[in-house]
Structure 1
């Protein structure tokens, strides 16, 4: 197979940081570098280029000079998305999310053939780096990465305690004043890039940068919250209206705006957390005018911290971009940016607990966004992280590659999914899917290369997209989506005009429901059959859930 970077090149031819900048000039015929940046719990509309009011100039610039996908999907949860992104398989195929009667989930172990992207890229000469969250089974370096910062500490942004460097635990210094995980993640990424420029400039690189932000706890540098402190006092309803208006103007959506579901709270109830957080916390997205002034301030402050965390993440992405430019790698680097799931309605208190007297966003606090502003962050879609309605599984996706994408500031409307990233990268790098060590074929990758959509706005042909998480399930065939929450009957939506999932056609079109249900069940059964082949390799303490209802 002729490397796609050669084909694309033929078509389009008709900051000082850390130790200081290190430059290198790659040869014009080198394969492209790959940088995948993943946010954690960020909503569909949080970026400026997707309708948000948060200042994200660096990501907006990538979008302005690249592409924005309007119907890109994740798996609705952190660890399944990461496994799917780097393996190219649905997480359930490789024991990384639960199936009926099959052990798996967050503690599941991939089959020996379920390699991650670095193992595909290494034979082609790539070096691979990881900075940030892992949340995939096994050690990072064993997955083919040459260097890694594994941010295991996800409960306190202000200490490195519990993290790993190259799979070795970090010894946190006694005084970590000024430490912040988002900055540290970028520092590590930049250090890897500088080392690459100095010592491996003749090789292409893959860098997986997985920020924790803006995942709870809502922790923020004090100087970052200032610009947003009073920005959200008008409430989540007004925020949604403003974002939706901007989205319509940008052409991001053609749907209606999903109304807030006032009776839908967090996916998991933690009554003790509500007691610790005090009377200003609310676990339902009530009308803003029904909240007390104190409650409004508390909720608006949480959203301000969420916004500041994204603002800071964008700033750190800007530093990484600066390093790519200094080492003359920017033009030949494909940068992909997405979020692992929709914004979260969760409310809980973990780790060190919550001190209600401490400054909001400080290390002594443990705040979560909650269902009100989560609904606003997922504008215009319905529901949140863990659900497989559009609000849970929709993500912004930016693709930027000056040498390989000639279009700029354009939208791509094809439905796509994180399972498509690996086959896209393999085609760009000209890499064939390898066989098992015994010579047998590995299971077919379910995703599709998005390379044709990089050239023009077109729909990538596929049979279906499939979801299952926490008892929630869905399938998309063309523009039809069948979706059901745990224990609830199927709902049917025509996504050509109703991505807000408001006009349930299930009762009017029972034959279409049955047709899509068969597709979902056939896919589920095939995944179960595949996973059962290696069931004995799974940790015995993990068990699957009961088979979801078919109704």
Structure 2
């Protein structure tokens, strides 16, 4: 079969041979802002991802869960993280240490039935060993505290041995090296079979660690401050047609989601924990903040370079044309400020292994342009991600935008539809519950809205629901806010007081979803160990 391979499911050709089925690569960034890529308005050099966008699709209203492990659980399972114990429900526990129910299989388990080989290169942060989740090979970059060390990482679930005098290691490069090695082996030994490759980079998650030559490109680029950066990105986004909203206001009283005042002292007088007017900062603060943004940009730049090497390998092995490549981020840019792992040496070169820097709320706000808030919040800045889809054989549109609201839970049904794989109704005698996601396959052909009842969020007391263009959202402990996202994704004009009936309607929809998820979870709690409550404090993994 050739040409419009994406339609073989619609045509009833579910008996396609393994060689006919497309390969799938899903690349995930960590703490990347909505506007960080050039193709979403950013000034960072991302030519490889921009190239995928130019010859594919960009989704403008794609959502994650606002945090790392819930997004990864949703992405790989097709369920909201709360449904599978991977984020907390009121009174029921769950979270980063929650264990999925036996029926909550991950995507590779289903793809195996169609002859797929499955590879994982990068961060995991899902419960259980990687190979037991259906992957054939894995690099698990568990060391999230030092980009310059492999200590604690695992290959095929076995800890790696690290030389005493370890040198020349950088996680982003090693992640790509492993991915390329998997692809080369596939070409040599399994060329008659399709593959699924999950590549979750840690970049640009803190600590801000980057190669000196990458930092040098951006060292002085951000000295004009976050207001100038936000405005420039916003204007480019409007020109591209990516957004139809005003630019959100900087929230000067909103700082990091967790307060570690002792860490601010360690970081010194250059650090600030609020997005104050740039002109009000000292020269030392301006340089410190601009340097942090430069390192963040360097991390994104390097990730794009490494993605370019992976794409070249796909071309070299003749797989590029029939490989569907996705790219997204697990949450918005982060306002967090902390010092952990090996600590922070203020005398060391910023971005080196001896330093521990975080982006903070000022430039996080700029990276999330034009939206409000940051990672962990479920306002648009915390949950909005780029989604690029590129597939030469299956997507004929080039450089087009897709406006349909969509969510990470949609990725599994989309991939299953495209690969012609039917999800089983049960697993080892246990019924698999209906999943909430919708296939985005129709949107590959034209810009149409995928029909759904709602999109739902809950994380650390932050909650939201979207029904059509209406969004009800509240930070933990705050009253509901109501926004019309058709024209106000900046969440600047709260309509809750003017439209109390709409608030009640959407609150009921949010509560119904929450109750349904609680009912599902309660069915299996009696058969499993009690779920741990969500941890608190700086020792908690991201």
TM-score, structure 2 as length reference:
0.95
Tell me if the contact between 1:43 and 1:343 (Cα under 8 Å) persists in the aligned partners.
yes
Aligned to 2:203: 213
Which residue is equivalent to 1:335? 325
Q: Is the 8 A contact 2:269 2:284 kept in 1?
A: no
**Partners of 1:437 and 1:91 in 2: how far apart?**
19
CA–CA distance in 2 between the matches of 1:30 and 1:509? Answer: 52
Q: How far did residue 445 of structure 1 move?
A: 1.1
TM-fit CA distance, 1:76: 0.1
* 1:435 Cα deviation after fit: 2.3
Give the distance between the partners of 1:99 and 1:160, measured in 2 at CA.
35
In structure 2, do the counterparts of structure 1 residues 539 and 362 end up closer, same or farther at CA, with 3 Å as the change threshold? Answer: farther
- Please state how far the C-alpha of 1:440 moved relative to its aligned partner: 5.2
1:266 aligns with 2:259: no
The reply to whether residue 237 of structure 1 matches residue 227 of structure 2 is yes
Match of 1:446 among 436, 440, 458: 436
Residue matched to 1:15? none
> In 1, distance between residues paired with 2:315 and 2:349?
38
Q: Number of paired residues?
A: 528
Secondary structure of the equivalent of 2:466? strand
Matches within 5 A, 1:186-205: 186-205=176-195
CA contact (8 A) 1:335 1:399 kept: yes
3-state SS of paired residue (2:26)? strand
The aligned runs of 1:83-232 (5 Å cut-off) are: 83-232=73-222
Question: Aligned residue for 2:540?
Answer: none
Change (3 A) 1:143 1:29: closer
CA-to-partner distance for each residue in 1:79-123, whole Å, 9 max, x for gaps?
A: 000000000000000000000111210000000000000001001
The CA deviation at 1:341 is 0.1
**Structure 1: tracts of 5 or more residues without a match:** 12-26, 546-551
The 2-side partners of 1:396 and 1:146 are apart by: 28
CA contact (8 A) 1:266 1:370 kept: yes
Instruction: Report the alpha carbon displacement of residue 173 of structure 1 after superposing the two structures with TM.
Output: 1.7
Q: Secondary structure at the residue paired with 1:186?
A: helix
Q: Measure the CA separation in 2 of the matches of 1:439 and 1:218.
A: 47
Partner SS, residue 227 of structure 2: helix
CA–CA distance in 1 between the matches of 2:500 and 2:286?
44
Task: Report what 1:458 is aligned to.
Answer: 448
Q: Is the CA contact (8 Å cut-off) linking 2:206 and 2:359 kept in structure 1? A: yes
CA RMSD of aligned residues (A): 1.6
Q: 1:6 to 1:298 in 2, by over 3 A?
A: closer
Q: Which residue of 2 aligns with 1:14?
A: none
CA contact (8 A) 2:53 2:388 kept: yes
Secondary structure of the 1:124 match is coil
Q: 2:503 aligns with which of 492, 513, 536?
A: 513
Q: Residue 500 of structure 1 is aligned with which of 487, 490, 494?
A: 490
Structure 1 counterpart of 2:7: 7
Partners of 1:405 and 1:207 in 2: CA distance: 19
TM-score for both structures, normalised by structure 1: 0.94
Residue-by-residue CA offset, 1:240-290 (whole Å, 9 max, x unaligned): 000000000000100000010000000000011101101110000000011
Could you tell me which residue of structure 1 aligns to residue 28 of structure 2?
38
Q: Is the 8 A contact 2:323 2:391 kept in 1?
A: yes
* 2:473 alignment counterpart: 483
Q: Which moved more, 1:528-537 or 1:37-46?
A: 528-537
Distance 1:329 1:174 in 2: 39
Q: Which moved more, 1:532-541 or 1:96-105?
A: 532-541
Task: Say if 1:178 and 1:126 are closer, same or farther in 2 by CA, change over 3 A.
Answer: same
Superposed displacement of residue 534, structure 1: 1.5
Shift of 1:8: 5.4
Deviation for aligned residue 1:431: 1.3
1:330 alignment partner, SS class: coil
Give distance in 2, aligned partners of 1:446 and 1:350: 37
Q: Is the 8 A contact 1:56 1:310 kept in 2?
A: yes
**C-alpha separation in 1, matches of 2:342 and 2:443:** 46
Alpha-carbon deviations, 1:159-192, whole Å to 9, x = none? 1010000000000122332110000000000000
**Counterpart in the other structure of 1:72:** 62
Deviations 1:27-53 (A, max 9, x none): 995200000000000000000000000
Alignment partner, residue 404 of structure 1: 394
CA contact (8 A) 1:101 1:544 kept: no
Structure 2 distance, partners of 1:369, 1:435, is 44
1:9: Cα distance to partner?
10
Indicate conservation of the 8 Å contact 2:8/2:420, yes or no. no
State the match for 1:306 in structure 2: 296
- On the 8 A contact 2:94/2:531 being kept in 1, the answer is no
Which of 72, 75, 94 is 1:82 aligned to?
A: 72
Deviation digits for residues 411-438 of structure 1 (CA, Å, limit 9, x no counterpart): 0000000000000000011111212245
